[in-house]
Structure 1
Amino acid sequence: MDIGSIDFQINLLKKIFDLIRIVDPINNKVISVTCNKSIDKIHNKNCYNFWNHNQMCKNCISLKAYNEKETLIKFEHLGDKTYLVMATPIVDDDSTYVVESIKDITDSKIISDSQNIDLVLLYKGVENINKLAFTDELTGAYNRRYINEKLPKDILKSQKNSTPLSLVMMDIDCFKNINDNYNHAVGDYVLKETIKIISKNIRLNSDWIARYGGEEFIIVFKNANIDIAYMLAERIRNAIQNYEFIYNNIKIQVTASFGISSISKKISTKDLLLNDADKYLYHAKINGRNRVEK
């Protein structure tokens, strides 16, 4: 990358921000660092290490900027410091990178004017704001934005490490009938309980679940080939089928259908993986529902 090609933009940002980083958000790599003041840990191999994270930030603003091709802003905290972070995508030849502009605002007027501010509450507020960006409000599962940002990185990591990765697309059977026969409050209850069931049947530090849309969810199983994913999906299917869904003394029978896909030479991107899983979910539906297809 020709760093000199963007020197002008960097010099403008240096007048406002304390730290400027050019990062490759797909590979979590720091390409270049420019610093106006003493900030610890500025030269890190992995961009997320600056925030004392051992893995990708859940609310990765740079990946959002990369994917959405627009400048985005968030607040972050590290120890007793609060930072303003701005991420701006840049194109160099055929490659896209992100300029991260970071400013320490701990002692800024916006904070110092609030004499009675509780920093613990401030930090919790920052965390909550960041969490809302990638969380489905109703179910607490991850949302579509998280899928678009996290799934490509998980695929890339699996390909680099030559480890398997499987994706399950799941749909609650006849969910429209639940809403029509009862009401949307019952439907919301079923969605939230279903997520609880799934969460108890996945590896919390490895697998993840996101709401794809409506009553449809995806589950990503890391280090799991298609046979292992099938076994895990069957366990979830049985758990949903045998669970007592009871809302205000109303007992609702709930089942779900599942389609599974795994990364391979032919299925190597987010869209191909999702489309393949969706194809098998369709097979599960037309073959009688309440089943897993791969």
Structure 2
Amino acid sequence: MKLHLLDHRHLNVLLGRERKQRAPDRDEPALDLMLKEILKKANQFVPSEAGSILLDDPIGKKEREELVFVACFGPGSSKLPGLRLSINTGIAGATYLSGKPYLSKNVKRDKMFYAKIDKISRFSTRSIICAPIIVENSIYGVIELINRKGKPNFTEEELKLLEIFAGYTSTLIQNVLDARKHIELAKRDGLTGLYNDRYFHTRLEREVRQVRRGQHDLILLFLDMDHFKGVNDQFGHLTGSHILQEVGDVLRKVVPVRGTTVARYGGDEFVIIFSQTTLEEVVQVADRIRTAIKKFPFSTVPINEKAKAETLQGRLTCSIGLASLKKHVGNGTSNSNIRHLLIRKADAAMYVAKDQGKDRICVAPPA
């Protein structure tokens, strides 16, 4: 039995339940291989001529709800991985919408049957059993078997067996999502929700390697809050923590998502990696950040129910330093040395901004 799978990158997108694409981590389960094994085992218990697993597309859900073939076997099944099917179409769609298993003993008499898939795969479907894949009360897709081998059609008992394998698939997907959640949490700063300094260093080293192999530049932005220590000392750590959370919110809103990594470096310092972006473009983004922080309506956290929040708008600003790998660092002896030098250059530029009066942007001097 030869199985055909959707490639790992596209399968990963279908598991992007947070509506964003991300690269799979090395430590997370190999979903594609596990789906393949589940379909293989289902066929061993209920021998069939063909079968498939379809998952919904969370990214395209708002515009059009579709199921995507992710694992298939049977004649002509090599043409199916990646093929999209409206949830309003066919037995797979009916199972997905109802959340209930479906048995069709004779598809020619079943008005829900969608014959176009047979035309694509050049296969002749006679009967189908299909079961929903449900994770935490949400339907993620379906698993189906087609044309029972050695029998005229499938039975109710075999449909129940397929439900068990749908349950295995649900558990597998839940395990993958849980693993991703834990891996992602380990990368995040607990206060702001931005990336933490540990992940920042890992990411920066990876970006440096890519830049040295290619032609594009790498820009590092170093940001330090002005007057933060005084505010923190005067109004307490609750206010200080609240301000840092709001700075994180500002950065999420202002900084473009694509080609950037935003992290809290420590204390009231933040760093942003810009890849495949020119220094001139980053200067413009930096100025938008500076302006947004200066205008943001920061306020104190009342120490008790009777106290009132005090406005801090205009009292807090930021100083920003920028350094370009190509223009300000050049070629070093190793990726690690280049990474450290880029950080030092951006950090030094930030301190120049502080020395020149704060609330400004400074670019590192040429290498």
The answer for the alignment partner of 1:257 in structure 2 is 319
- Contact 1:267 1:273 (8 Å CA) reproduced: no
Query: Deviations along 1:179-216, whole A, 9 cap, x unmatched?
Result: 11111111111111111111111111221211111110
- 1:172 is aligned to 2:225: yes
The answer for the alignment partner of 1:90 in structure 2 is none
Shift of the alpha carbon at 1:237?
Answer: 0.2
Helix, strand or coil at the partner of 1:256: strand
The answer for the alignment partner of 1:78 in structure 2 is 31
TM-score by structure 1 length? 0.62
- Contact 1:136 1:142 (8 Å CA) reproduced: yes
The answer for the alignment partner of 1:183 in structure 2 is 236
Query: Unpaired segments of 5 or more residues in structure 2?
Result: 14-20, 36-167, 302-308, 332-337
Query: Deviations along 1:34-85, whole A, 9 cap, x unmatched?
Result: xxxx9988xx9xxx859847x9847x55xxxxxxxxxxxx443525949xxx
Helix, strand or coil at the partner of 2:271: strand
How many residues get paired? Answer: 208
Shift of the alpha carbon at 1:217?
Answer: 0.8
TM-score by structure 2 length? 0.50
Identity percentage of aligned residues: 28
Q: Among 263, 280, 285, which residue is 2:354 paired with?
A: 285
Change (3 A) 1:120 1:214: same
Q: CA RMSD in A?
A: 3.2
- Contact 2:250 2:293 (8 Å CA) reproduced: yes
| Greater strand fraction, Structure 1 or Structure 2 | 1
Shift of the alpha carbon at 1:289?
Answer: 0.9
Query: Deviations along 1:142-199, whole A, 9 cap, x unmatched?
Result: 1111112111221222332201221100001122112111111111111111111111
Change (3 A) 1:133 1:57: farther
Q: Which residue identity lines up with residue 231 of structure 2 in the other structure?
A: I
User: How does 1:1-294 map onto structure 2 within 5 Å?
Assistant: 52=12, 57=23, 60=25, 74-76=27-29, 78=31, 81=34, 121-248=174-301, 249-252=309-312, 253-264=315-326, 266-268=329-331, 269-294=338-363
Distance 2:243 2:330 in 1: 32
Distance 1:77 1:274 in 2: 35
Shift of the alpha carbon at 1:120?
Answer: 5.4
Distance 1:149 1:290 in 2: 29
Distance 1:135 1:39 in 2: 38
